[in-house]
Structure 1
Amino acid sequence: MRNILHYAFLFLTACIPSFLFSQQKECIKIDWSRHYGGTNQEIANDIQQTQDGGYIVAGFTRSVDFDVASNFGSADYWILKLDTAGQIEWEKTFGGTDFDIATSVVQTPDGGFAAAGGALSSNGQVNGSHGAEDVWVIKLDPSGNLQWQRAIGGFQNERAERIRNTSDGGFIVAGYSQSKDGDLTNNNGDFDYLMVKLNGSGNIEWQRSFGGSLADFGYDVRETSDGGFVMAGSTFSNNGDVGSNKGLYDYWLVKVDAGGSLLWEKSFGGSGEERAYSMITTADNGIAVAGSSTSSDDDLPGNNGSYDVWLMKTDAGGNLLWSKNFGGSSEDRAFSLGLTANQEFLLAGLSVSSNGDVSTNYGSKDAWLLKLDPDGNLLWEKNFGGTSEDRFYAILQTLDGGYVGAGLSASGDKDLDGNNGLQDLWVLRMGPDSLKFDLGADTSLCAGETLLLKVAQDSALYQWQDGSSNMDFTVSSPGTYWVEVNQEGCKTRDTINVNYIGDIPVQLGNDTVLCQGETLVLDTGIDGASYNWKNGTSAPTLPVQFPGTYWVEVTKDGCQFFDTIEVGFITVQLDLGKDTFLCQGQLLPLNVAQPDAAYRWQDGSTNPTYNIAESGLYWVEAGLGGCVKTDSIIVTFQTRPDTILADFAYICEDEGIWLDASQPAASYTWQDGSTNPKYKAVVPGKYSVEVTIHGCPFSDEVELRPCEECLYVPNVFSPNGDGINDLFQGFPGCEILNYRLLVFDRWGSLLFESFQPSSGWDGNFKGKKMDIGAYAFLIGFDYINNNKVKHQQRKGIVNLLR
């Protein structure tokens, strides 16, 4: 027996047609497409993603070759475990010699699997058959080995269409039944909805049948947030548990509590036929039901022809919220309803149409996939398959955001790379298309800049907002720019808004000239920016004190702006020099000539030169190019000091005399070459000194006379009344101060006392003439010598003659 896996890595790009050009479309590509089976017939009715990221598939096989290792009879349950790439990890068949079909599968919390469907067999692995076709539930371990099986039913026909895990660790099974014996206790006529609650070991906890006297087929069930269950399918009845019917078959929702007791039921549809095959509960506790419809009235918004895909949504109480139909003029059906992570709807089934909502058809029946937003609006649709019959019976979004559809294919071309027999079990994995590009975030450009938008894609066609078709576009003005890229039929659009920042004028001002000493503060006048000056500083202003070229670069909102200014300085050259001294008779010429300058002196004269011949404060104001500078000078003519040395002075034998020629800021040269301001003389004579003040020489001399010459005292006098030498007195040769004359006899008696040099002794004492003879005298006096007060005493003998 051959066990051959046929698969194809068809990296084909699928396109979502552009129904709504204002909305970004999702493009998908086929990651892989694999067909499984033998030379007879295989169909996948359900697929679920497993905990390891792979997949579990449930359906049936009628082959026993190629991918099918064994077969018990006509048709067997066929359970396949696939890895993430769709390769078979294991495959198992279950059943007996008759027709056994698996319709639903789940992975159980223990890592194993539970499958449900219908079994006509009553042998092989099917134990406990009740009659014709039974609901058959099997439990497998993680490797696909049978752990237990349960045949549920009565004498007539029952089939399970859905099995789901329940929150208590058990299972809820939905299908339909004709029996009211065996495991089943009730039937309202023909086929009824069948709901069976099993525990984790497959034992029946309760079972319920709902319906009317005609055929009612249950296809899907969901546990609700209140612990109860809601079941969806179709009803042809209008009695029994069915409150109403609007035409042929209607969608029928049945809500039960946790124990299976009926809470409410609602039918939906129009005057035609509606068949519900799949149901989900949404995050807002709503209920969405998918299937097909031929109606265009009542609960249906319209019909495109034959069977349309019909999706409706109700609230938790079964009240219709909205209703949407999709398709073309031929047959279009949905068999599976999925929900994405962001609450968008996936519808999978078949399409024969190639118009209306259907973009294309490869031939016969194609598998058809639709994606809707949470409000039921079509986002995109895409057909898959080949030129023969292909259809999806199951769809889901994978953990990584891709999509997996499962069903059957009789094709061996287009999206299929072959076929093993009549019909193969088919699994198609789809992922996001590589056709992704980004024009970038909305941006702002600087004046004069351009932006190159480039969206190069292999084998793509481009349409820009202006109709151009190059792979790139150069933006040079503000506006909204978009491009639609079509790569093998997949169209994707992106948009970018480009704003241009206006040219911000940086104005440092016109080139200018300043006067020396002035400061010019350069200010850009632009707030909220960064600044880069020529000298590297970054403050918004720059003080300028020197000539040169100054520039600044201002950056605001990512754009650079620039300005330059030339700054010159006018220098008025004016310097009268330092304050100075001149000697009498000298002349100081001041010359401040500078080309093109104008002058004004303190006396109003305007010549560039000025001669100074006398002491005073002199100033001049010079103007050049609007700049004015003033300078001044104090000129002092040095005059001869009023006194350098006295005309004469007295020198006594017992002491010298200091001659003082001191003058401010002067230098000295005495007659002997000494240079001190003072000179000590010890002998009478003439002394001279040259005093130089501020460069001007002045000479002077003094005569030093003997000390005796200051007061002459005679040693004889003759008081005889002849008017000659009649008095004994001192005769001053200089200015005398504090004068006192005392005369004594030889016995020391005081005969005479005088305090004025002009008052002398007349030779009498108390009116009596004194005898001729010698008398003693003592004279004390002060005198000024060389500007100093000196004291001197004289004593001696004076002779009195008559």
Structure 2
Amino acid sequence: MRNFTIINIVVVVLLLLSGHISAQIVHPPGLQFSAACASPSFNSYNVSVNFEAALINPSNQFVLELSNETGDFSTPIVLFTSAAGAITVSGTLINFSVPTDIAGEAFKVRVKSTDPVATSSGSIAFPAYYKIQDTPFTINDLNSTGVYCSGGSYLLTIDNPGTGDNDSPLQYPSLTFNWFKETSPTTSDFVASGASLEVSEPGTYFVETNYGTCSSNSFSNRVTVSQASSGGTSNISSSLGNPFCSSQGLTTLTATSGASYQWFKDGNEIIDAINRTYETNESGVYSVNVTLGSCSTSASIDLDANQFTSSIDIPEAPVMNLLPASGTLTVTVTDTATNPEYEWYLNETLITGAINNTYEATQVGRYKAVIKQTAGCISSKEYLFEIQETFPDVPNIPNLISPNGDGINDTWVIPQAYISGTNTKITLISSQGEIVFQTNDYQNNWPVEALDFKDVNPVYYYIITTETQQTKKGSITVIK
């Protein structure tokens, strides 16, 4: 019995010595980094293998293992295995890459040898994250505001996929997220983790992908959430900003999320504008009523389309402008354009040298005046107008006119043989026998004033007496 006890003691001592020697053969690896903040564009790290060279056999291999995020090696991950006999000098650096689903603050690595069999203790703990998504992303459909009813809440979610080229981090199942509430323009408090956040306190919120102590560009836009009572107010966002340049197209107005919507412009209801968004390229005061459920809210925006105002001092087409007897018709455009430029066209041909806001027209034809705003919001406006002869040479005396302002047959235009300068007497008589117009200097301008249409398509009679006492008679039917 005594001999057995002694043998047992010797065996135990030898085993203890063997474990002590094994532990001393391979030392903890030396980290050549403080944190492993990997990404698709960078994933390369070095550690030094430290060992007692005299105790290592020629066929030995070194194996580098990674713990879990708490430093536990129960189920290690092999990061590197050397070729047999490849490493013979202590302090040799080996290179490795971290797994693409790694995330944590207290990882460790250790080294094992195969001949003799020995395992080092773990290295110094270090943070390690693989930043598979490292760009800004959107929440709340990129709407900067949210409103909830008293006693209720507002759900903030990460957009997936979102609009445009949004790189939603929800595409990567290995990622986790931390939500924050701003306490100042530069500080914030952690609120909760997860892909969404139920908000029941007013404030400005945002979310970041959880990459721990590793710096990252994976963060969301800010959303300001408020509590509304019935009749309270919220905000409207404009996709192109405010003011915006209408020449770039339509801007999208977006209201806070709700159950139903009704949009207004300048206080007037916009028919069928009952969605959360409304597109426009016009200036104006836009408002929306939003039903949230147990309460409602409204919002308003004074939208500036950065459009300049302008006008022209003669009637536009199709109304005809008569060339005066002087032979010149002066046309002027006025505007509020920034750094304006002007162009004038006659029959679609640019008029060389006409670069001012006033033009003296001496020819009949179809004109176009163009105003260009050349600074800020680049835009332009154009006006079309026509000029015809005051006394055109028509072949026949018309018996039909339509004084409705459309520029066609608005006045009774007769041959030049009977107009001003020919001393021809013109007499017009109503169907009741009343003289309604008489002149020896006709300007092709009857009716001079608006006619009182008591009858449908009234008929008038004309008597034209020339200087040589030649007479022409007929009727004129006036239609609306």
Q: Same fold (TM over 0.5)?
A: no
Structure number with greater Rg is 1
Q: Which has the higher helix share?
A: 2
The higher relative CO (CA closer than 8 Å, separation ≥ 6) is in: 2
Give me the TM-score of the superposition, normalised by structure 1: 0.21
